[in-house]
């Protein structure tokens, strides 16, 4: 980016360059740092080199020695790239923009949201330590925490994190992580990030720094456009880049965003467990997904509000969950933690609703979904979310299949629940499709 040159030859940054707003920064990024120089590109390139040419054995040794060492200023120190799995520039540029979007010090890119979540948990907790999570979790996070981590002797207590007394009760001397999504996938319950942090601060005040508890938030549903958990008290954020940030549904990716003190462990973990985000997948997120995030979210939200209102007024709908609705039980809490970088309420693009289902067997929802899957124009039956196409799914039997049936029912997740990820279609057309699907119920 060009700078104005003053008469004495020194350069002056414009205000936009020295302090850009999020939307602007995510379009331009930093085109020139010690880690890459794309000053003469309009669109940064996809780099595609598994290994990098080293000029000498000494330079190779220096590249390895500096990897993860973090003592050099990345803005000016020229990175010695060695091997894609360690570090690479397209992914690096995306990481820089993600850290900015989430207001974190650093971001580390992984091959999927699950690779990011497993890295965050395994970097922060080791054998014989304990995790407290909210009791409703994305299905694969649930099976990671209840199925795989116990094999490494990391056990979890699943509780209701909208209840601070339940959180206090669940914390043990060996607890190291409080983990949750907010809004929760799929029922959009809001967990009070600041409230959780306050409880954690009380506990940490009585502990040595090595035993501190960290608050880890999965911010996939909200995206950093609607919510920046690090500013609200979370220590670490996980993202599935596959969803709202990627936005176009072409690639998988994930990221952990947090303090610089975690950077070395995260990149070393990624180096050794191998779940590095491919530059070919980082690139569409860097040049298409993140730069359009703000514009897409503004439009998703407008349509989501109309759709939530439409559903709320429909005789066959028993319940609608959308944080933007005044009837949403946690509407006030949602307003306190979901807002864009200019402070405007940003309730997101996800809507969850339940059809009237007197038998509670999910049959009306099945008729609705089957009609939509086969006949609707704008409603696509598919998991995933945050794309330009409106997606619907049945969490009970699809994304949350890993959770046991009795548990789901006890938590209010019923077979009749339908999740909508609102896309960029004209909202009249989305509602027209919903209306016809309703007539099949
Ligand atoms: C999809 C999803 C994930 C996992 O992300 P992948 O990129 O599919 O691995 C994690 N958390 C939430 C809330 C999700 O919706």
Q: Report the alpha-carbon distance of residue 112 to residue 431 in Å, rounded.
A: 32
Cβ atoms 168, 199 nearer than 8 A: yes
Structure confidence at residue 388 (pLDDT) = 97
372-381's contacts with Cβ under 8 Å and 24+ in sequence apart are 372/433, 372/437, 375/436, 376/433, 376/436, 376/437, 377/429, 377/433, 378/423, 378/425, 378/429, 378/430, 378/433, 379/420, 379/430, 379/433, 379/434, 379/437
Decide: helix, strand or coil at residue 161. Answer: coil
Q: Report the alpha-carbon distance of residue 46 to residue 287 in Å, rounded.
A: 10
Q: Domain 299-438 classified CATH 3.90.1150.10? A: yes
Annotated domain spans of the chain: 21-288, 299-438
- Which residue owns the Cα nearest ligand 1 atom 6? 113
* Peptide bond preceding 152 in cis form (omega within 30 of 0): no
Exposure b/e, 188-217, CB count within 10 A at least 16 = b: bbbbbbebbbebbeebeeeeeeeeebbbbb
- The DSSP symbol for 311 reads H
Q: Which two tokens stand for residue 11?
A: 């350069």
Structure confidence at residue 403 (pLDDT) = 85
- Which residue owns the Cα nearest ligand 1 atom 2? 240
Decide: helix, strand or coil at residue 33. Answer: coil
Task: Kindly state if the Cβ of 118 falls inside 6 Å of ligand 1.
Answer: no
- Which residue owns the Cα nearest ligand 1 atom 9? 113
Structure confidence at residue 16 (pLDDT) = 80
Q: Report the atom number in ligand 1 closest to the C-alpha of 117.
A: 10
Task: Kindly state if the Cβ of 242 falls inside 6 Å of ligand 1.
Answer: yes
Q: Report the atom number in ligand 1 closest to the C-alpha of 181.
A: 13
Task: Kindly state if the Cβ of 347 falls inside 6 Å of ligand 1.
Answer: no
Q: Report the atom number in ligand 1 closest to the C-alpha of 221.
A: 13
Q: Report the alpha-carbon distance of residue 345 to residue 427 in Å, rounded.
A: 20
Q: Report the alpha-carbon distance of residue 207 to residue 328 in Å, rounded.
A: 38
Ligand 1 pocket test: which of 112, 113, 250, 421 has the largest number of ligand atoms within 8 Å of its C-beta? 113
Structure confidence at residue 2 (pLDDT) = 47
Q: Measured in angstroms, how far is the CA atom of residue 188 from the centroid of ligand 1?
A: 15
Task: Kindly state if the Cβ of 237 falls inside 6 Å of ligand 1.
Answer: no
Task: Kindly state if the Cβ of 221 falls inside 6 Å of ligand 1.
Answer: yes
Cβ atoms 183, 190 nearer than 8 A: yes
- One digit per residue, pLDDT tens: the chain, 441 residues? 444 555 555 566 778 888 888 889 899 988 899 999 999 999 999 999 999 999 999 999 999 999 988 778 877 889 999 999 999 999 999 999 999 999 999 999 999 999 999 999 999 999 999 999 999 999 999 999 999 999 999 999 999 999 999 999 999 999 999 999 999 989 999 999 999 999 999 999 999 999 999 999 999 999 999 999 999 999 999 999 999 999 999 999 999 999 999 999 999 999 999 999 999 999 999 999 999 999 999 999 999 999 999 999 999 999 999 999 999 999 999 999 999 999 999 999 999 999 999 998 889 999 999 999 999 999 999 999 999 999 999 998 888 888 889 988 888 888 889 999 999 999 999 999 999 999 999
- Which residue owns the Cα nearest ligand 1 atom 7? 113
**236-240 and 214-218 as β-strands: parallel, antiparallel, unpaired?**
parallel
Total number of residues shown for the chain: 441
Kind and range of the H or E run holding 319: strand 317-321
Task: Kindly state if the Cβ of 113 falls inside 6 Å of ligand 1.
Answer: yes
CATH of range 21-288; options 3.30.450.20, 3.40.640.10, 3.90.420.10, 3.30.479.30: 3.40.640.10
Task: Kindly state if the Cβ of 179 falls inside 6 Å of ligand 1.
Answer: no
Distant-in-sequence, close-in-space partners of 313: CB < 8 Å, separation ≥ 6: none
Q: Report the alpha-carbon distance of residue 62 to residue 82 in Å, rounded.
A: 10
Q: Measured in angstroms, how far is the CA atom of residue 298 from the centroid of ligand 1?
A: 22
- Which residue owns the Cα nearest ligand 1 atom 11? 138
Measured between alpha carbons, how far is residue 258 from residues 9, 178, 182, 255, 266 in Å?
A: 38, 15, 17, 10, 10
Ligand 1 pocket test: which of 120, 140, 387 has the largest number of ligand atoms within 8 Å of its C-beta? 140
- The DSSP symbol for 106 reads E
Exposure b/e, 15-31, CB count within 10 A at least 16 = b: eeeeebebbebbbebbe
């Amino acid at each position: 980016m060009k700078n104005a040159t003053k008469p004495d030859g020194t350069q002056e940054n414009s205000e936009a360059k020295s302090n850009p707003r999020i939307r602007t920064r995510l379009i331009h990024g930093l085109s020139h740092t010690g880690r890459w120089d794309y000053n003469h590109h309009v669109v940064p390139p996809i780099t595609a080199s598994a290994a990098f040419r080293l000029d000498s054995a000494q330079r190779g040794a220096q590249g390895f020695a500096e990897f993860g060492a973090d003592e050099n200023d990345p803005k000016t120190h020229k990175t010695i790239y060695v091997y894609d799995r360690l570090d690479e520039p397209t992914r690096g540029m995306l990481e820089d923009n993600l850290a900015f979007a989430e207001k974190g010090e650093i971001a580390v890119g992984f091959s999927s949201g699950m690779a990011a979540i497993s890295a965050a948990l395994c970097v922060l907790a080791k054998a014989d330590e304990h995790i407290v999570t909210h009791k409703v979790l994305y299905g694969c996070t649930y099976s990671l925490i209840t199925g795989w981590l116990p094999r490494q002797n990391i056990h979890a207590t699943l509780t209701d994190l909208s209840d601070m007394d339940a959180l206090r009760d669940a914390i043990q001397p060996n607890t190291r992580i409080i983990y949750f999504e907010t809004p929760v996938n799929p029922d959009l319950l809001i967990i009070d990030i600041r409230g959780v942090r306050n409880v954690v601060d009380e506990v940490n005040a009585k502990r040595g720094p090595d035993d501190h508890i960290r608050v880890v938030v999965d911010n996939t549903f909200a995206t950093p456009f609607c919510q920046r958990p690090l500013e609200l008290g979370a220590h670490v954020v996980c993202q599935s880049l596959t969803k709202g940030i990627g936005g176009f549904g072409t690639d998988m990716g994930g990221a952990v965003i947090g303090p610089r003190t975690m950077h070395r462990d995260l990149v070393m973990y990624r180096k050794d467990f191998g779940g590095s985000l491919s530059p070919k997948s980082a690139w569409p997120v860097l040049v298409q997904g993140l730069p359009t995030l703000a514009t897409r979210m503004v439009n998703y939200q407008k349509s989501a509000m109309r759709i939530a209102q439409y559903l709320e007024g429909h005789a066959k709908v028993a319940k609608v969950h959308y944080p933007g609705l005044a009837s949403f039980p946690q509407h006030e809490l949602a307003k306190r933690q979901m807002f864009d970088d200019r402070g405007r309420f940003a309730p997101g693009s996800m809507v969850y609703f339940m059809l009237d289902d007197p038998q509670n067997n999910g049959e009306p929802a099945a008729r609705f979904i089957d009609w939509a899957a086969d006949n609707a124009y704008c409603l696509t039956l598919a998991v995933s979310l945050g794309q330009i196409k409106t997606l619907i799914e049945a969490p009970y039997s699809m994304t949350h299949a890993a959770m046991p049936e009795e548990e789901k029912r006890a938590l209010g997740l019923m077979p009749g629940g339908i999740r909508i990820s609102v896309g960029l279609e004209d909202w009249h057309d989305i509602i027209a499709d919903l209306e016809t699907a309703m007539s099949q119920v």
